């Protein structure tokens, strides 16, 4: 098992096998069975990150471990979505996990505001459009949804701004991972507060887990780029 964790290709195969098993269980069995099929998915990612992150284990390492811990707890809370208390709690914990990732992706390097503005506008209109679409179904959860998606917007921006601070491959993996996470989050929100969607059970878990995997993999292979100062 340890050799698989260190071999990135073998781990990817193992991870997506477990992910496939969980999506099948999610789509075809009652929710209690997911307490067996779902935990291994995020636990594999945690183990992969722990054993492959070679940089000094300071604050950056802790932020990611805290984020993954939050995702693991939230994954268990959201399994029984008919329980309103657990559902709300899961959204709160997911949001906290995203905050920790924002801390991980923040950096002190300069960036071009002109490059950030078009990206922020697109993400902003996506967020506003989704909130408006599900507004009637939100009821008392409007503020919670708004805060959660505001943090998602920040996470997207921080991931986008890594371009000048890390190598291209790491940047690409993390950014695509964040987009996958947001797709899953959007489908979950629409399914919970508005209406059912085609293949929603498969899409929610596939994009969510794939997003987390890509984010973590991007962090594991990350190579920092030192800023160039002009004197």
Cα–Cα distance measured from residue 3 to residue 45, given in angstroms and rounded to the nearest whole number = 15
Average pLDDT along the chain, 231 residues, taken 10 residues at a time: 78 94 90 93 95 82 96 94 89 94 78 66 81 80 84 89 87 95 90 84 92 96 70 42
User: What are 228's two structure tokens?
Assistant: 């160039």
Q: Give the model's pLDDT for residue 31.
A: 87
What does the buried/exposed string (b/e) look like for 182-209 if buried means 16 or more CB atoms within 10 Å of the residue's CB?
bbbbbbbbbbbbeeeeeebbebbbbbbb
CB of 2 within 8 A of CB of 49?
Answer: no
């Amino acid at each position: 098992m340890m050799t698989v964790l260190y071999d990135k290709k073998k781990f990817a195969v193992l991870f997506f096998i477990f992910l496939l098993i969980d999506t099948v269980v999610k789509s075809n069995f009652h929710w209690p069975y997911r307490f067996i099929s779902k935990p291994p998915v995020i636990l594999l990612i945690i183990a992969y990150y722990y054993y492959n992150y070679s940089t000094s284990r300071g604050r950056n390492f802790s932020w990611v471990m805290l984020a993954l811990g939050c995702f693991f707890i939230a994954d268990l809370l959201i399994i029984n979505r008919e329980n309103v208390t657990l559902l709300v709690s899961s959204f709160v914990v997911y949001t906290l996990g995203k905050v920790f990732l924002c801390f991980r992706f923040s950096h002190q390097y300069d960036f071009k505001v002109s490059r950030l503005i078009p990206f922020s506008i697109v993400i902003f209109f996506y967020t506003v459009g989704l909130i408006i679409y599900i507004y009637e179904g939100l009821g008392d959860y409007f503020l919670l949804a708004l805060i959660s998606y505001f943090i998602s917007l920040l996470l997207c921006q921080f991931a986008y701004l890594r371009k000048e601070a890390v190598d291209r491959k790491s940047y690409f993996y993390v950014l695509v991972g964040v987009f996958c996470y947001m797709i899953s989050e959007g489908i979950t929100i629409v399914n919970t507060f508005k209406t059912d969607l085609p293949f929603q059970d498969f899409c929610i878990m596939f994009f969510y887990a794939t997003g987390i995997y890509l984010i973590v993999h991007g962090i594991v292979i990350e190579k920092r780029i030192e800023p160039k100062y002009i004197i």
